[in-house]
């Protein structure tokens, strides 16, 4: 025991030193952030009342308490702005210091300012390092993935995966996408027969998991047909754990050791599942190449393997080196999440809004009659045969864009710089050095200066001529963000959701059951615009309750094609 004493005392000393160093780093960071905010406050920059001790945490707490349970942080940031003095819509941008929850932000709510961010040569490309913490449980590898990387590393990985997203390759995936949607249609038909109430996202999420499994690593995950696949299940559990303590102020929840362990363990399992899928596909890929077979489309993984094996001095029989396998694992974990989560939410919100707007579904059906003809059953085959037919659906596209305007699943963030001082329409200057610039898509999309009748569902906004009062302001619809770091998957999303609506909308009516499910609830919805399907955080922003609904056969009889 005596011989252990010096060892234990040395360990204690090391632990104490680490704790003191960490504490000092924390205090010095906090001091720096609070001082920066004080300086900006003295310069008269827009922000809520700032406390040297608590920053803007009290403003966040008050705003959170004025919202219904679990409302997404976009509502909190919007509410804080609306409570600031002056214009009742709040300032076009303001500073927000919620350290230690996050680093200081400049929250942008106006496209005029947001456009300056995405047009700036350096800032438009630069993500803040703190974003990695958000992604760590999802992609592993310290949260390093295409969303968070910078510089040469980002460029290299971006070029590795980008060819998957070229238009002809995406079109070539459509037969597989349609095949999964036909399984989904059969599931809906069964729900019609049973008449049961269900949550739409409990079906769109397995649908999207199966589609994304195919396009990432040519895998048949079978979520729709055989129950939850372990990979999908683990990702879903990870999101549940990550967002169990998603309240801006719930720092204690973030440090709960049990939760930290479960997230670590799930991350390990996610790596195992993704690695298995990669290794399975590498073997199949080699066989295909050895037989000189032509693939119908290159999956995201195939695309990366194609580049890997075409490097000089590399043979088709070589095993993947560890570094490349680690890179693939993290990026494919990210693609798996990014590929299903927000698209599944968008499909649900489309169905929700169509259930509330019979005039919109009538126009949608008329467009589908014109493009696909009167034989509803022929539509999926027509998409499979000729995927570019999806480019002839302007009203369907407008419905999707308007849905995404009102229910934006994501936002955008960039690292500020001393070279970028943003300017408001009124000439107010917003220095960005030392802060992350967060463009709130939620607030921009409801900004009444850019969107007449901002809370109304009006797909026509996206179809009118530039001189029409509904025509959107430049850069006001920025769901996929602009500039070099815009969404890699945007063309794929639009194709998938268009096919989804084209295959389903003439056959089914969606019945909104929010009133039935939440009949007894007594919560104040005033600050979420009386919207029962208000957004909550679960990876991307999702409609609360996953859209409880019933489906019925529409009985729609296609009209005469004009």
Residue ranges binding ligand HEM (CB under 6 A): 146-147, 158, 335, 338-339, 342-343, 346, 409-410, 412-413, 479-481, 485, 487-489, 492-493
Give the residue with the Cβ less far from ligand HEM, 376 or 540: 540
Residue 92 or 483: the one with the smaller Cβ distance to ligand HEM is: 483
The nearest distance, CB 483 to ligand HEM, in angstroms, is: 8
Measure Cα distances from 247 to 54, 63, 75 in Å. 17, 12, 12
| Cα(535)–Cα(527) distance, integer angstroms | 12
Q: How far is the CB of 481 from ligand HEM (least distance, A)?
A: 4
> Which residue's Cβ has the minimum distance to ligand HEM?
489
Q: What is the DSSP string of 441-464?
A: HHHHHT-TTTSSSTTS--GGGGTS
Write down the least CB distance from residue 297 to ligand HEM, Å.
Answer: 13
* Cis? peptide before 100, omega within 30° of 0: yes
Q: How far is the CB of 300 from ligand HEM (least distance, A)?
A: 7
Residues 6+ away with beta carbon under 8 Å from 106: 93, 94, 95, 96, 416, 422, 430, 432, 435, 436, 437, 438
Q: How far apart are CA 393 and CA 27, in angstroms?
A: 56
Q: d(Cα 340, Cα 325) in Å, to the nearest integer?
A: 22
Nearer to ligand HEM, 57 or 177 (CB): 177
In the bound complex, what is the minimum distance in angstroms from residue 16's beta carbon to ligand HEM? 39
Residue 417 vs 428, nearer CB to ligand HEM: 417
Provide the minimum distance between the beta carbon of 89 and ligand HEM in the complex, in angstroms, as a whole number: 23
In the bound state with ligand HEM, the residue whose beta carbon lies nearer, of 338 and 393, is 338
The DSSP-derived string for 395-435 is: HHHHHHHHHHHHS----EEEE--TT-EEE-TT--EEE-TTS
Residue 523 vs residues 73, 80, 88, 244: alpha-carbon distances, Å: 18, 20, 24, 21
For ligand HEM, the closer CB: 184 or 372: 184
Q: What is the enclosing helix (H) or strand (E) of 205?
A: helix 201-217
Q: Cβ of residue 159: shortest distance to ligand HEM, in angstroms?
A: 10
Q: How far is the CB of 25 from ligand HEM (least distance, A)?
A: 26
Nearer to ligand HEM, 360 or 412 (CB): 412
Structure token pair of residue 393: 């659906």
Q: How buried is residue 88: exposed, middle or buried, by Cβ count under 10 Å (0-12/13-18/19+)?
A: exposed
For residues 60 and 412, which CB has a smaller minimum distance to ligand HEM in the complex? 412
What's the rounded Cα separation, in Å, for the pair 128 and 106? 13
Minimum gap (Å) between residue 60 Cβ and ligand HEM: 21
* Helix H or strand E segment including 509: strand 508-512
Contact yes or no for 221/210 (Cβ under 8 A): yes
Residue closer to ligand HEM (CB basis): 146 or 236: 146
């Amino acid at each position: 025991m005596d011989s252990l004493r010096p060892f234990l005392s040395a360990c204690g000393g090391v632990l104490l030193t680490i704790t003191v160093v960490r504490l000092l780093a924390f205090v010095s960071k906090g001091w720096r952030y609070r001082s920066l905010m004080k300086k900006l406050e003295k310069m008269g920059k827009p922000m809520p009342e700032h406390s040297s001790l608590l920053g803007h945490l009290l403003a966040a707490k008050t705003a959170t308490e004025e919202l219904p349970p679990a409302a997404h942080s976009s509502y909190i940031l919007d509410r804080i702005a609306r409570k600031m003095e002056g214009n009742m819509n709040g300032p076009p941008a303001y500073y927000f210091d919620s350290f230690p929850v996050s680093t200081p932000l400049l929250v942008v709510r106006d496209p005029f300012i947001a456009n300056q961010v995405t047009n700036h040569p350096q800032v438009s490309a630069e993500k803040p390092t703190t974003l990695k913490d958000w992604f760590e449980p999802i992609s592993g590898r310290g949260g390093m993935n295409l969303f968070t990387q910078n510089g040469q590393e980002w460029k290299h990985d971006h070029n590795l995966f980008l060819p998957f997203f070229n238009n002809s390759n995406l079109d070539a995936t459509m037969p597989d996408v349609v095949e999964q949607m036909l399984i989904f249609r059969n599931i809906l038909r069964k729900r019609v027969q049973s008449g049961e109430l269900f949550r739409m996202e409990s079906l769109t999420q397995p649908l999207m998991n199966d589609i994304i499994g195919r396009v990432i690593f040519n895998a048949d995950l079978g979520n729709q047909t055989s129950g939850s696949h372990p990979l999908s299940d683990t990702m879903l559990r990870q999101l549940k754990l990550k967002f169990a303590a998603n309240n801006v102020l719930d720092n204690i929840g973030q440090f709960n050791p049990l939760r930290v362990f479960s997230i670590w363990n799930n991350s390990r399992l996610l790596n195992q599942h993704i690695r298995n899928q990669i290794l399975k596909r590498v073997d199949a890929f080699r066989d295909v190449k050895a037989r000189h077979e032509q693939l119908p489309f290159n999956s995201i993984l195939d695309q990366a393997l194609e580049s890997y094996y075409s490097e000089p001095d590399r043979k088709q029989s070589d095993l993947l080196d560890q570094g490349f396998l680690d890179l693939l694992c993290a990026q494919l974990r990210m693609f798996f999440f990014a590929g299903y989560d927000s698209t599944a939410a968008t499909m649900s919100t489309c169905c929700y809004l169509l259930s509330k707007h019979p005039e919109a579904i009538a126009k949608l059906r008329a467009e589908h009659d014109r493009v696909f003809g009167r034989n509803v059953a022929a539509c999926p085959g027509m998409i499979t045969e000729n995927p570019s037919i999806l480019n002839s659906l302007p009203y369907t596209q407008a419905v999707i864009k308007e849905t995404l305007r009102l229910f934006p699943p994501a936002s955008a963030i960039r690292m500020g710089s001393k070279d970028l001082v943003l300017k408001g329409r009124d000439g107010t200057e917003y220095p960005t050095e030392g802060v992350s610039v967060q463009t709130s898509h939620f607030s921009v999309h409801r900004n009444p200066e850019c969107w007449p009748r901002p809370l109304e569902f009006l797909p026509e906004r996206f179809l009118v001529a530039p001189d029409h009062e509904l025509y959107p302001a430049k850069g006001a619809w920025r769901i996929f963000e602009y500039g070099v770091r815009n969404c890699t998957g945007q063309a794929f999303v639009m194709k998938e959701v268009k096919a989804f609506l084209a295959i389903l909308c003439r056959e089914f009516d969606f019945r909104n059951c929010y009133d039935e499910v939440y009949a007894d609830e007594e919560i104040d919805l005033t600050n979420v615009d009386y919207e029962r399907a208000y957004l909550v955080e679960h990876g991307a922003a999702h409609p609360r309750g996953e859209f409880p609904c019933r489906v019925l056969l529409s009985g729609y009889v296609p009209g005469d094609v004009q």
